[in-house]
Structures are given as structure tokens and as C-alpha cells.
Structure 1
């Protein structure tokens, strides 16, 4: 009799309480499917409340955050991750790109890098190198795909070396695009079991696939098209490289030391750079940089200069980050020091919901000692590949929403907790979104857990779980 009473009580649990108290704490679709099987009332609650959840915000140490109408929750670890794994990016829906390494810098919290004795933050060193093993991992199916070909190229690198994005064209067996901060390895094409192809350095900061073409955008908002092919063994190749949108930012080349290779204009307004002699496609065997393994501590100004020079030799930190400080950097070193607001601009390349257009999201935010961090401006553009220019978008498509980050961006269908017309940006402190329906910046409907603040923005990535079929 007691068992019957208990069962009736659970089945009569209000749907709102079920969502907030049970389902919100079960982020995996498999667990939610088991909840659905308990009784008819719970199946109905699952159908109406959790079919379309917001993506997870994954931290590099393997922890993750969720949010939605049931509240925001933090989970210590994604089950099944390999030992010493750093989450470097989402490679596609349900897939993570992992770096198994004893280099803990990227997966160490902001305050874990703080040295109390010196009052400074520990920075990665260009003269210290680690071994790296790269994997694709699906935490929902527990399938892992080794990227041995990538290990052979960037498996022994300095602490300053960064993989910024790992993007699958379709499946783990297909072409994968990898972007880094290293000018010798700006963009790498990898196909598991087949081989790799290292592309010339064109200062690409973000990439997106559109059919058989990989597009790359620079911090100057040029758009480069890599026409993809393969050799007889299935190794990825590039049949043609075109500059399809020229630099619209006049001040981008003020340094004067680097310019695009010149060629005759194509009929589509682009520049064919496939046969340029200014870039060598034969890359070194490893991105080791310095041959000497000097791991001494540097203290004097002369020794600090050695560190800076080794960054240049390594080729690290020479490809501009996706987020650039718009202020005059020299002002930050004036004596006496005066605090001022810093403005950052991030640029993200996204394939549209329909899969036929390229979108560029320009997100400008401010960091202020007085008012914290918040979004200053968001702009959305479409690539006009015929005219060779960016065109301001009038809004997003019907039922479209955008999620952007340095390591993974996606246009998705707005359903359930995902609201139409919004642009979400992965951030540790910014609590606003951009509404393209009214072109206004507003507060989030759902708040993310505070634990996301332990990591820098650049290391956060979106992960879209498989949709639960109910």
C-alpha cells in the first residue's frame, strides 16, 4: 500500500516543480528520456518543457553550465572525459575537441594563475614545451576519434601555442578545420586516417564551412575562400584560394609590414591567391619554435626581451586574436598609471540557419572598473560574395537565433528556451544578449551560474546536446 501511495504522489508532482527540481539537474538527454518513461504525466512535462534546451557552456577543465526555465546549474565534470583532458572547442553538434596534455595553463582558473607573492598573473612561456594528444569526443555516445595527423604537426608545442577552433565539416571522418595563433599553422585541414594540409598564413581568426568551401575571416574583416578538394588517397587539398572580400578598414595596415599578395581581379571581385610566391605551403614538421629548451626564470628587462623574441621565433601570438583591444595600448603603460575603460571587438563567422549564407557578427564590449563589463554594440552582416562586400543584415531569419564564441558559433532554430532573433555570446561576466528584432541590448532571460566567471571568455565554448525525441 505504501508503494502505491508513493507512486501516485510522484505522478502528481506539478510540472513546474518537476522541471525546476528534477529535469534541470539532468542535462543529458539519456537521463531525461528515463524521466519521461516514469509515467504519463512526466512524459507530458518532458514534451512541453525540455525538448529544446539552450546549449551548454563548457569550460576548458571539463566542467559545464546549463540554464533555462528550470534555473542555472553548474556541473563539475562531463562524464567519460580522458585523463588530463582540456576542452579546447566544440567541433560540431554533440562533439568536443580535446587536448590531452600535462600543460594545465588553459584549464586553470583565472585566480589559479594568480601569484600572491608577486601580485601578478602567471603567463604561458614560449620556452617551455609540452606533449599534446588531440581527440574528438562525443560525451553523449562516448565515442572518441584520435586526431593522430594533428598530433604529428602540433603535438609538441610551446605553452604560448593556442588552438583556437576545431570545426568539423560534417562528421569526424570528414574534413576538419583547425585554427591557431601560430603564423606557421594559421589554418590546418585534417582528415582522420588520411592526412593534413597546412594553409598559408592569411591572418585568419575564424572559419566556417559553406558547402565545399572553407571561408576564413581576418580581424580586418577580409573574407578568404579556400576551395576544397582531395588527392587520390583522400588527403584534403585546396584547389584555389580567393580573397572574396577586400579590407574595408582603412587603419588595419598602419604597421605597413604585411600586405595581401597582389593578383589580377577575378570576375567575382575577389583576388586569386592560389599561386602566390609569398607564402610557402610546405610547413615545418613540428611547431617547436626554439630548439633550445631553456626553462630558467627571467627577471631582468633584457631577459624579458628574450621571451618576447622567442614568441616571434615560435610564430605564436602573431596571428591576431578574435578579440582586439580598440584603445591605444601604449596608454596602458603611462606613468603614473590611470585606469581607463577598455573596449574590445570580437568578430565571429557563422553559417546561416538555411545554410546558404555567411554571417559576420561584430560584438563590441567595454570593460570598466566602475561599471563592470557589458555590451556596447552588436552588428550583424551578410557576405555578398558576388559584389565582394559585407552588407548590413536587416535581422535574422524567421525562427533563427545565434550563439557565438571564439571556439564555436552556430545558427540554430529558436524553439523552447531558445528565443527567436537573439544573439548570445559566451562570456564569463557579460549578462546581456542582443535582440535583432528591436536592435537593442537587453538582459538575459535566463542567468548562467557564477562558476563561468572562473575562466576567461576566450576559453568558453558552446556545446549543443542531441535533441531529445519525445
Structure 2
């Protein structure tokens, strides 16, 4: 009888049914199946989603699936935007969603498809929940970055509320012109100034961002009283430049006053440049007036010519410069006269499991030239807002684990295959974890499906399925 199916075979069947709803239906079939299937339903680890919308389930029964059902054929997965939500980009730009293995030509020793800064594509952005099959278009984002170069990157898409998709969405990009975009579906969008933020996290009604120098910038959020468009009422530098040596090479100075009103960055018309207090330039003479009049005539002529052709007013992602990624590559100099190991230090900010603390995680991956990479060190700090500095923590809270990728870093409840105090990273080809209880690197009890290596770890994202009550 089906009720007598051995638990190991039933477990293999459940492993091929990743959707929580399908697993819940197995629990409802009979008492024996419910007893065997409940642990798989209640304690489902997150998925690893690839840019081409294929995905890997993780844990002891992890498996690879070629496609998330119901997505458009031209969809590229940018990030997991929240619990159960994906940020999608519908575009004919295939660079991001082309697996590395398929893109590299071993005979020629080169990549077949390379991102080019001189070629642009159209993009249509949306939020999609594959578990409820709800899709939320983001036309406000299309208006800003709907026609960008192939080298332009959307690095993170973060919803303030996973239960309310109409709420605020924060987007970080590779461009210094639109480092952070605040978008509220159906209401409007707002582009923040050039703070060179590499990662963001919500904590209440404040959006926090860290720079590559580990400065912590707080953006106090509000909305327009008339149309509900998102706004930033003021900025504050809560943690100031703890890496002075870094900034000797990468100069960028925050204003002397660490609390900045939004009016310091925007004029009354909403332009991003500060208002000039002087009405006229100094030493203005008649010749200058003539030159100005000539410039106005040239501008009028150019405007008339533009009326005769279709003009693309959306943002070009690489005109003024780019924002550094959240990792820094160095070389291990401990052993001279030998090939050097590469050491990658990546920084993330994560909201704690209890929701009232902000954590900074430094993850170091060491990549030897002739062997697989491994976790070298992990450091965890919490923001001390009163002291204005990062404070070392002795470990994670009880029952807490961390999952790290560039597009989503999340604190999760430890259960099942997710172990208490562990830090899981999808970086490189590592199959190890960091245990904050002993501050040691450990081998995983299971391995990630090998298909995750098809793309760069920077393009992977964690997707947490909803918990099902059975």
C-alpha cells in the first residue's frame, strides 16, 4: 500500500517537490506520510536561485530544478527581494542569465558573450512571488533604469515589507548616478545622492547603508503628502570612517556636520545638485552675456532638432562612474617566492533575527592558485548608535543563523538542516560554514548542488520559501 512506502523513498520523492504547497499536500494524504513528511515541510532551507531562474534546493535532500514555473521566457532573476519574493528583469540582454559554463569557449580560451558599455537594452522590472503567483510591476523603476548599458548592474532589490508588496522597495546599482533608488509601486520613485553605498538594510523606517569604508549612513524615510511618492527627509552619518587608511587611497569626505537636511542636496525643483547661493557668476561682463546668449541659441536649436526624433530620456548606467562592489581583493603575502593566494573580503549588513539590531559581517574567502577556495575568517559586529562605532559581538543570538550573498543577506531561524550559530555563504566553490559558537570553520554536513557553480556567486540569491503550518 502507498501508506507503507519506506521513509527514505518518500524523502526522495519530497526532495523533487520543492514547492511548500506540494509538500503540505503529501502531509494531508495519510497519517504515515504526514509523520514522514512533516520535518521536510516545517524546516525547508532556502533555495539558491540562479539568474536564468533555475534554482537549487539546499539541505540534505538538495536538488537542482531547471526553471521556476510560471515566469516569462525573457526573465532574469536579479535578487530575492524579501521572504518569498523575487525581483525580475524582463529583457533581451542575455549576458547576466547566460551560465558561465555555456559562455566560455575552451578552444579559444575566452568568453563568447561579454558585457559592453556601448550597447544598451530595454528592461522591464517587476516583483514576483512564485508561491502565491502574484506579480507587481515596477514601472517607476523602468523610467529610471529601463534603458541601460550591458555593464550596468542592479545589485540588490530589498522590500521593506514582504507582506505588503505595495510598500517601499530599495534598489542598489553599480552606478554612482543612481547608487540607491527608492521605489513605491504605483506612487513614484526617488534617487538618492552619491553616497557610494555597497549594501543596504531596513531597520524600521530607516534605510541604512554601508560604504566600502564601513561608514554607516542612515536615510530617514518619508513620503510626499500629495501623491505618496517616497522621500528622504534627512541623512545622518551614524558611524564615521573607522577605516582611515582606506580613505587615504579612496578619498571621499562626509560633510563636517553629520546630520544633513535633504535641502542640502536638492533644490526646490528636485535637481540633485545643491543650489548656488549667488545669482550671477563673479566678474560677469558684457562679453560673458554675449557668450551666454549664444549658448542659449545653441540650446534652442538642439532642442528643436530633438523634437524631430525619438529621445531616450532614461538613465544610462555608466556615464559618470561606478560604485565599487562589496568585496576587496588582496594577496596573501605570508609565504614569499610562491604563487600568491587571493583573499576576498566581502562586507554585508544584516538585520538581526529579533529585528532591533544591525549587524556588519566581514567574510574572508581565500583562493589558492591550485586548490578550491575556503573560508578564511568571519567577523561580526553590531552597530552601537550611541557610541557611533561598530562593536565586536561574541556570537549570534541563540537559534540564529546567517545566509550571505551580495543580493540578499538574511538572518534566519535555525531549524532542521539550518544549524544554530552558523554563517552560510554561497561564495566561490566553498562547501564549508563558519561556526560562531566556536569561531571555527567547519565542513558542511551536506553539499550545495553543483549546478550553483554555473554562474558567479555574486549573481546567486537566497529565496526563503514560506513556512507551512501542518
Q: TM-score range by the shorter chain?
A: 0.7 to 0.9
Match of 2:356 in 1: 356
Match of 2:247 in 1: 253
Could you list the per-position Cα deviations for residues 60-92 of structure 1 after superposition, in whole angstroms to 9, with x for gaps in the alignment? 0010011223x2210000001112000000000
- How many Å separate the matches in 1 of 2:436 and 2:375? 14
Greater radius of gyration (CA): 2
Residue among 324, 331, 356 paired with 2:328: 324
- How many Å separate the matches in 2 of 1:49 and 1:32? 8
Residue among 203, 207, 228 paired with 1:234: 228
- How many Å separate the matches in 2 of 1:72 and 1:410? 20
What TM-score results when the alignment is normalised by the length of structure 1? Answer: 0.86
Could you list the per-position Cα deviations for residues 74-128 of structure 1 after superposition, in whole angstroms to 9, with x for gaps in the alignment? 0000001112000000000000000000111111111323245642234311000
Q: Is the 8 A contact 1:261 1:273 kept in 2?
A: no
Match of 1:135 in 2: 126
Closer/same/farther in 2, CA of residues 50 and 417 from structure 1, 3 Å limit: farther
- How many Å separate the matches in 1 of 2:256 and 2:262? 10
- Following superposition, the deviation at residue 281 of structure 1 comes to 5.5
Aligned residues: 422
Match of 1:53 in 2: 44
Q: Is the 8 A contact 1:325 1:345 kept in 2?
A: yes
CA RMSD across the alignment: 2.1
Paired residues for 1:66-465 under 5 Å: 66-69=57-60, 71-116=61-106, 118-121=108-111, 122-170=113-161, 171-232=164-225, 233-255=227-249, 258-264=251-257, 270-272=258-260, 274-276=262-264, 282=272, 285-288=313-316, 311=318, 313=319, 315=321, 318-327=322-331, 339-465=339-465
Match of 1:293 in 2: none
- How many Å separate the matches in 2 of 1:35 and 1:194? 42
Instruction: Give the secondary-structure state (helix, strand or coil) at the position aligned to 1:254.
Output: helix
- Please identify, of 168-177 and 276-285, the stretch whose mean Cα deviation from structure 2 is larger: 276-285
Any unmatched runs of 5+ in structure 1? 1-7, 265-269, 290-310, 329-337
- How many Å separate the matches in 2 of 1:281 and 1:348? 31
Instruction: Give the secondary-structure state (helix, strand or coil) at the position aligned to 1:17.
Output: helix
- How many Å separate the matches in 2 of 1:344 and 1:274? 36
Could you list the per-position Cα deviations for residues 153-191 of structure 1 after superposition, in whole angstroms to 9, with x for gaps in the alignment? 000000010000000000210000000000000000000
Any unmatched runs of 5+ in structure 2? 274-311, 333-337
- Please identify, of 223-232 and 113-122, the stretch whose mean Cα deviation from structure 2 is larger: 113-122
Closer/same/farther in 2, CA of residues 443 and 469 from structure 1, 3 Å limit: same
- Following superposition, the deviation at residue 272 of structure 1 comes to 3.3
Could you list the per-position Cα deviations for residues 365-403 of structure 1 after superposition, in whole angstroms to 9, with x for gaps in the alignment? 011122221111101110111111000111111111111
What TM-score results when the alignment is normalised by the length of structure 2? Answer: 0.86
Closer/same/farther in 2, CA of residues 421 and 275 from structure 1, 3 Å limit: same
